[in-house]
Amino acid sequence: MSAQTVTAGQRPGSPQAQSLLSVNNIEVIYDDVILVLRGLSLDVPEGKIVALLGSNGAGKSTTLKAVSGLLPSEQGEVSSGSIIFDGQDITKMDAAERVKQGLSLCMEGRHVFPHLTIAENLQAGAYTQRSSNEQLDFVYEFFPQLAAIRSRTAGFLSGGEQQMLAIGRALMARPKLLMLDEPSLGLAPLLVEETFETIARLNAETGLTVLVVEQNAKVALKVAHHGYIMEQGRIMLEESADALAENPDVKEFYLGMTADGQGKKSYRDVKHYKRRKRWL
Protein backbone atom coordinates (compact mmCIF):
# COMPACT_ATOMS: atom_id res chain seq x y z
CA MET A 1 0.00 0.00 0.00
CA SER A 2 1.62 3.23 -1.07
CA ALA A 3 0.25 5.52 1.57
CA GLN A 4 2.21 8.61 0.61
CA THR A 5 0.77 8.73 -2.85
CA VAL A 6 -2.58 10.00 -1.65
CA THR A 7 -1.54 11.85 1.46
CA ALA A 8 0.83 14.34 -0.03
CA GLY A 9 -1.27 17.17 1.37
CA GLN A 10 -1.10 16.02 4.93
CA ARG A 11 1.20 17.91 7.23
CA PRO A 12 2.30 15.39 9.78
CA GLY A 13 2.73 16.64 13.30
CA SER A 14 0.23 19.46 13.02
CA PRO A 15 -1.33 19.81 16.46
CA GLN A 16 -4.91 19.90 15.24
CA ALA A 17 -6.46 18.95 11.98
CA GLN A 18 -6.37 22.09 9.83
CA SER A 19 -8.91 22.99 7.22
CA LEU A 20 -7.97 21.57 3.87
CA LEU A 21 -11.03 23.15 2.33
CA SER A 22 -12.94 26.19 3.55
CA VAL A 23 -15.96 27.43 1.73
CA ASN A 24 -16.68 30.94 2.97
CA ASN A 25 -20.13 32.37 2.59
CA ILE A 26 -20.55 31.63 -1.11
CA GLU A 27 -23.48 32.51 -3.30
CA VAL A 28 -24.03 30.62 -6.53
CA ILE A 29 -26.18 31.83 -9.37
CA TYR A 30 -27.19 29.86 -12.49
CA ASP A 31 -28.04 31.66 -15.73
CA ASP A 32 -27.50 35.03 -13.99
CA VAL A 33 -30.87 34.75 -12.23
CA ILE A 34 -31.34 31.51 -10.29
CA LEU A 35 -29.81 31.93 -6.85
CA VAL A 36 -29.10 28.43 -5.57
CA LEU A 37 -26.53 28.82 -2.79
CA ARG A 38 -27.29 31.67 -0.40
CA GLY A 39 -24.26 32.25 1.74
CA LEU A 40 -23.02 28.73 2.32
CA SER A 41 -20.00 28.03 4.48
CA LEU A 42 -18.34 24.79 5.39
CA ASP A 43 -14.98 23.42 6.42
CA VAL A 44 -13.32 20.13 5.70
CA PRO A 45 -10.49 19.41 8.14
CA GLU A 46 -7.47 17.60 6.82
CA GLY A 47 -7.63 13.81 7.17
CA LYS A 48 -11.33 13.72 8.03
CA ILE A 49 -14.49 12.48 6.37
CA VAL A 50 -17.17 15.15 6.20
CA ALA A 51 -20.73 14.39 5.16
CA LEU A 52 -22.97 16.99 3.52
CA LEU A 53 -26.59 15.96 3.84
CA GLY A 54 -29.77 17.46 2.52
CA SER A 55 -32.90 16.74 0.56
CA ASN A 56 -33.44 16.97 -3.20
CA GLY A 57 -32.66 20.35 -4.63
CA ALA A 58 -30.98 21.67 -1.48
CA GLY A 59 -27.89 22.56 -3.50
CA LYS A 60 -25.52 19.78 -2.50
CA SER A 61 -24.33 19.02 -6.03
CA THR A 62 -24.07 22.73 -6.72
CA THR A 63 -21.78 23.06 -3.71
CA LEU A 64 -19.47 20.34 -5.04
CA LYS A 65 -19.54 21.86 -8.53
CA ALA A 66 -18.59 25.22 -7.08
CA VAL A 67 -15.63 23.65 -5.28
CA SER A 68 -14.49 21.65 -8.32
CA GLY A 69 -14.96 24.48 -10.81
CA LEU A 70 -17.65 22.89 -12.96
CA LEU A 71 -20.14 25.76 -12.68
CA PRO A 72 -18.99 27.67 -15.79
CA SER A 73 -19.85 24.62 -17.92
CA GLU A 74 -23.43 24.94 -16.66
CA GLN A 75 -23.83 28.70 -16.92
CA GLY A 76 -23.34 28.98 -13.17
CA GLU A 77 -20.98 31.15 -11.16
CA VAL A 78 -19.84 31.86 -7.63
CA SER A 79 -21.11 35.42 -7.33
CA SER A 80 -19.73 36.13 -3.87
CA GLY A 81 -17.71 34.53 -1.11
CA SER A 82 -14.53 32.52 -1.45
CA ILE A 83 -13.27 28.95 -1.63
CA ILE A 84 -9.89 28.25 -0.06
CA PHE A 85 -8.19 24.93 -0.76
CA ASP A 86 -4.88 23.98 0.82
CA GLY A 87 -4.17 27.61 1.63
CA GLN A 88 -4.92 28.85 -1.86
CA ASP A 89 -7.89 30.87 -3.08
CA ILE A 90 -9.37 28.73 -5.86
CA THR A 91 -12.68 30.56 -6.26
CA LYS A 92 -11.93 31.54 -9.86
CA MET A 93 -9.48 28.78 -10.76
CA ASP A 94 -9.98 26.69 -13.90
CA ALA A 95 -11.46 23.22 -13.23
CA ALA A 96 -8.52 21.35 -14.75
CA GLU A 97 -6.06 23.32 -12.61
CA ARG A 98 -7.96 22.41 -9.43
CA VAL A 99 -7.43 18.73 -10.19
CA LYS A 100 -3.71 19.42 -10.43
CA GLN A 101 -3.87 21.11 -7.04
CA GLY A 102 -5.31 17.90 -5.53
CA LEU A 103 -9.09 18.25 -5.73
CA SER A 104 -11.02 15.37 -7.28
CA LEU A 105 -14.75 14.95 -7.74
CA CYS A 106 -16.80 11.82 -8.40
CA MET A 107 -19.91 13.22 -10.00
CA GLU A 108 -23.46 12.24 -9.16
CA GLY A 109 -24.38 9.28 -11.36
CA ARG A 110 -20.74 8.13 -11.59
CA HIS A 111 -20.05 9.40 -15.11
CA VAL A 112 -17.47 6.84 -16.16
CA PHE A 113 -16.40 7.19 -19.81
CA PRO A 114 -18.76 4.61 -21.32
CA HIS A 115 -16.87 3.75 -24.50
CA LEU A 116 -13.49 3.47 -22.78
CA THR A 117 -12.28 0.34 -21.05
CA ILE A 118 -11.64 0.24 -17.31
CA ALA A 119 -7.91 0.57 -17.93
CA GLU A 120 -8.44 3.55 -20.26
CA ASN A 121 -10.78 5.22 -17.75
CA LEU A 122 -8.05 4.94 -15.15
CA GLN A 123 -5.44 6.26 -17.57
CA ALA A 124 -7.70 9.22 -18.29
CA GLY A 125 -7.90 9.75 -14.54
CA ALA A 126 -4.13 10.15 -14.46
CA TYR A 127 -4.20 12.92 -17.08
CA THR A 128 -2.67 15.46 -14.70
CA GLN A 129 0.05 13.05 -13.59
CA ARG A 130 3.47 12.62 -15.08
CA SER A 131 3.53 8.90 -14.44
CA SER A 132 0.64 6.70 -13.50
CA ASN A 133 2.06 3.23 -12.89
CA GLU A 134 2.45 3.47 -9.13
CA GLN A 135 -1.02 4.87 -8.64
CA LEU A 136 -2.48 2.32 -11.04
CA ASP A 137 -1.04 -0.49 -8.92
CA PHE A 138 -2.53 1.17 -5.87
CA VAL A 139 -6.01 1.39 -7.43
CA TYR A 140 -5.94 -2.18 -8.72
CA GLU A 141 -4.76 -3.34 -5.32
CA PHE A 142 -7.56 -1.44 -3.67
CA PHE A 143 -10.19 -2.69 -6.11
CA PRO A 144 -9.06 -6.18 -7.13
CA GLN A 145 -12.41 -6.71 -8.84
CA LEU A 146 -11.49 -3.96 -11.31
CA ALA A 147 -8.09 -5.44 -12.02
CA ALA A 148 -9.69 -8.71 -13.06
CA ILE A 149 -11.83 -7.07 -15.74
CA ARG A 150 -9.63 -4.15 -16.75
CA SER A 151 -10.18 -4.53 -20.48
CA ARG A 152 -13.98 -4.38 -20.28
CA THR A 153 -15.87 -1.44 -21.69
CA ALA A 154 -17.01 0.76 -18.81
CA GLY A 155 -20.49 1.42 -20.19
CA PHE A 156 -21.44 -2.21 -19.77
CA LEU A 157 -20.34 -2.56 -16.15
CA SER A 158 -22.80 -2.97 -13.29
CA GLY A 159 -23.63 0.04 -11.15
CA GLY A 160 -21.39 -1.20 -8.35
CA GLU A 161 -18.46 -1.76 -10.68
CA GLN A 162 -18.97 1.68 -12.19
CA GLN A 163 -18.93 3.22 -8.73
CA MET A 164 -15.63 1.52 -7.93
CA LEU A 165 -14.26 2.68 -11.28
CA ALA A 166 -15.41 6.25 -10.68
CA ILE A 167 -13.65 6.30 -7.31
CA GLY A 168 -10.59 4.58 -8.75
CA ARG A 169 -10.43 7.06 -11.61
CA ALA A 170 -10.59 9.97 -9.18
CA LEU A 171 -7.79 8.42 -7.10
CA MET A 172 -5.57 8.27 -10.18
CA ALA A 173 -5.07 12.03 -9.88
CA ARG A 174 -3.60 11.56 -6.37
CA PRO A 175 -6.11 13.86 -4.72
CA LYS A 176 -5.66 15.49 -1.35
CA LEU A 177 -9.41 15.91 -1.13
CA LEU A 178 -11.85 13.47 -2.69
CA MET A 179 -15.39 14.72 -3.16
CA LEU A 180 -18.16 12.21 -3.81
CA ASP A 181 -21.65 13.16 -4.95
CA GLU A 182 -24.23 10.61 -3.79
CA PRO A 183 -22.13 7.48 -4.19
CA SER A 184 -25.09 5.40 -2.98
CA LEU A 185 -27.32 6.50 -5.84
CA GLY A 186 -28.95 3.54 -7.55
CA LEU A 187 -26.96 0.91 -5.67
CA ALA A 188 -28.37 -2.08 -3.77
CA PRO A 189 -28.15 -1.70 0.05
CA LEU A 190 -25.27 -4.15 0.31
CA LEU A 191 -23.28 -2.20 -2.29
CA VAL A 192 -24.03 1.06 -0.52
CA GLU A 193 -22.51 -0.37 2.66
CA GLU A 194 -19.53 -1.60 0.69
CA THR A 195 -18.98 1.76 -0.99
CA PHE A 196 -18.91 3.55 2.35
CA GLU A 197 -16.64 0.92 3.82
CA THR A 198 -14.30 1.64 0.92
CA ILE A 199 -14.41 5.34 1.71
CA ALA A 200 -13.69 4.67 5.37
CA ARG A 201 -10.82 2.37 4.46
CA LEU A 202 -9.29 4.91 2.09
CA ASN A 203 -9.44 7.48 4.83
CA ALA A 204 -8.07 5.19 7.51
CA GLU A 205 -5.30 3.61 5.46
CA THR A 206 -4.08 6.56 3.42
CA GLY A 207 -5.29 9.58 5.37
CA LEU A 208 -7.30 10.79 2.36
CA THR A 209 -9.63 13.68 3.20
CA VAL A 210 -13.20 13.13 1.99
CA LEU A 211 -16.23 15.34 1.46
CA VAL A 212 -19.24 13.17 0.71
CA VAL A 213 -22.70 14.35 -0.32
CA GLU A 214 -25.48 11.94 0.55
CA GLN A 215 -29.20 11.53 0.89
CA ASN A 216 -28.66 8.27 2.72
CA ALA A 217 -27.81 9.92 6.02
CA LYS A 218 -27.62 6.73 8.02
CA VAL A 219 -24.78 5.14 6.15
CA ALA A 220 -22.98 8.43 5.59
CA LEU A 221 -23.00 9.40 9.27
CA LYS A 222 -21.69 5.98 10.19
CA VAL A 223 -18.35 6.61 8.46
CA ALA A 224 -18.15 10.42 8.66
CA HIS A 225 -16.40 12.32 11.43
CA HIS A 226 -18.39 15.44 10.91
CA GLY A 227 -21.66 16.36 9.22
CA TYR A 228 -23.45 19.35 7.74
CA ILE A 229 -27.13 19.56 6.95
CA MET A 230 -28.23 21.92 4.25
CA GLU A 231 -31.59 23.22 3.11
CA GLN A 232 -32.31 25.64 0.30
CA GLY A 233 -28.77 26.70 -0.29
CA ARG A 234 -27.72 27.20 3.33
CA ILE A 235 -26.19 25.13 6.08
CA MET A 236 -28.83 24.58 8.77
CA LEU A 237 -26.95 22.39 11.18
CA GLU A 238 -23.36 21.38 11.78
CA GLU A 239 -22.18 18.81 14.31
CA SER A 240 -19.98 15.82 14.82
CA ALA A 241 -21.37 12.85 12.94
CA ASP A 242 -22.20 10.99 16.15
CA ALA A 243 -24.11 13.95 17.53
CA LEU A 244 -25.97 14.36 14.27
CA ALA A 245 -26.95 10.72 14.22
CA GLU A 246 -28.42 11.16 17.72
CA ASN A 247 -30.06 14.49 16.94
CA PRO A 248 -33.84 13.99 17.25
CA ASP A 249 -34.64 16.21 14.26
CA VAL A 250 -32.17 14.44 12.07
CA LYS A 251 -33.43 11.11 13.33
CA GLU A 252 -37.03 11.98 12.56
CA PHE A 253 -36.44 13.42 9.14
CA TYR A 254 -33.30 11.87 7.66
CA LEU A 255 -32.91 8.61 9.42
CA GLY A 256 -36.68 8.05 9.36
CA MET A 257 -36.66 8.80 5.69
CA THR A 258 -33.94 6.35 4.90
CA ALA A 259 -35.79 3.56 6.63
CA ASP A 260 -38.58 3.58 4.06
CA GLY A 261 -36.67 5.52 1.45
CA GLN A 262 -39.62 7.82 0.74
CA GLY A 263 -39.41 10.99 2.84
CA LYS A 264 -41.63 13.68 1.36
CA LYS A 265 -41.30 16.05 4.30
CA SER A 266 -38.72 18.75 4.39
CA TYR A 267 -36.45 19.30 7.32
CA ARG A 268 -38.25 22.56 7.88
CA ASP A 269 -41.50 20.71 8.52
CA VAL A 270 -40.14 18.77 11.42
CA LYS A 271 -41.80 20.00 14.63
CA HIS A 272 -38.72 20.15 16.80
CA TYR A 273 -37.02 22.20 14.27
CA LYS A 274 -38.75 25.50 15.09
CA ARG A 275 -37.69 25.20 18.68
CA ARG A 276 -34.08 24.44 17.80
CA LYS A 277 -33.80 27.01 15.12
CA ARG A 278 -33.13 29.78 17.61
CA TRP A 279 -29.94 28.05 18.63
CA LEU A 280 -28.59 27.55 15.17
Partner 1 sequence: MTQFLVLLIYGLSEGAILALAALGFVLIYKATGVINFAQGEFLLIGAYTFYTAFVIFQLPILIALLVGVVVAVVVGVLVERLILRPMVGQSHISIIMVTIGLAAVLSSIVQMFFGTQPRAMPNLFPTGSVEILNGSIPANRLWTLLVAAVVLTLLTVFFQKSKHGIAMRSVADDEQAAMTVGISVRRIFAMSWGLAAVSALIAGVLLADLTTVEMGIVNFGLLVFPVVILGGLDSVPGTIVGGLTIGLVTQFTAGYLDPGLAGVAPYIVLVLVLLVRPYGIFGEKRIERV
Ligand X SMILES: Nc1ncnc2c1ncn2[C@@H]1O[C@H](COP(=O)(O)OP(=O)(O)OP(=O)(O)O)[C@@H](O)[C@H]1O
The answer to whether 30 contacts ligand X (rule: CB under 6 A) is: yes
> Is 142 in contact with 95 (CB distance < 8 Å)?
no
Q: Which is nearer to partner 1, 52 or 237 (CB)?
A: 52
Give the span between the Cα atoms of 237 and 215, in whole angstroms.
Answer: 15
**What angle in degrees, to the nearest 10, is found between the helix axes of 189-206 and 159-171?**
20
The answer to whether 185 contacts partner 1 (rule: CB under 8 A) is: no
Going by C-alpha positions, the residue among 207, 195, 131 that lies closest to residue 168 is: 195
| Residue 269 interface partner, choices Mg ion, ligand X, partner 1, none, CB cut-off 5-8 Å depending on type | none
| Stretch in the footprint of partner 1 (CB under 8 A) among 49-57, 105-113, 192-200, 228-236 | 105-113
The 3 state secondary structure assigned to 80-108 is EEEEEECCEECCCCCHHHHHHHCEEEECC
Q: Which is nearer to partner 1, 52 or 67 (CB)?
A: 67
x-or-dash string of contact with ligand X, 48-87, rule CB under 6 A: ------x-xxxxxxx-----------x-x-----------
The answer to whether 110 contacts partner 1 (rule: CB under 8 A) is: yes
CA 196 vs CA 180, 202, 211, 212: distances in Å: 11, 10, 12, 10
Say which residues have a Cβ less than 8 Å from residue 280's Cβ, sequence separation at least 6.
236, 237
The answer to whether 30 contacts partner 1 (rule: CB under 8 A) is: no
The answer to whether 88 contacts partner 1 (rule: CB under 8 A) is: no
Residues contributing to the site for partner 1 (CB under 8 A): 68-70, 73, 94-100, 104-107, 109-116, 120, 123-125, 127-128, 153, 155-156, 162, 169-170, 172-173
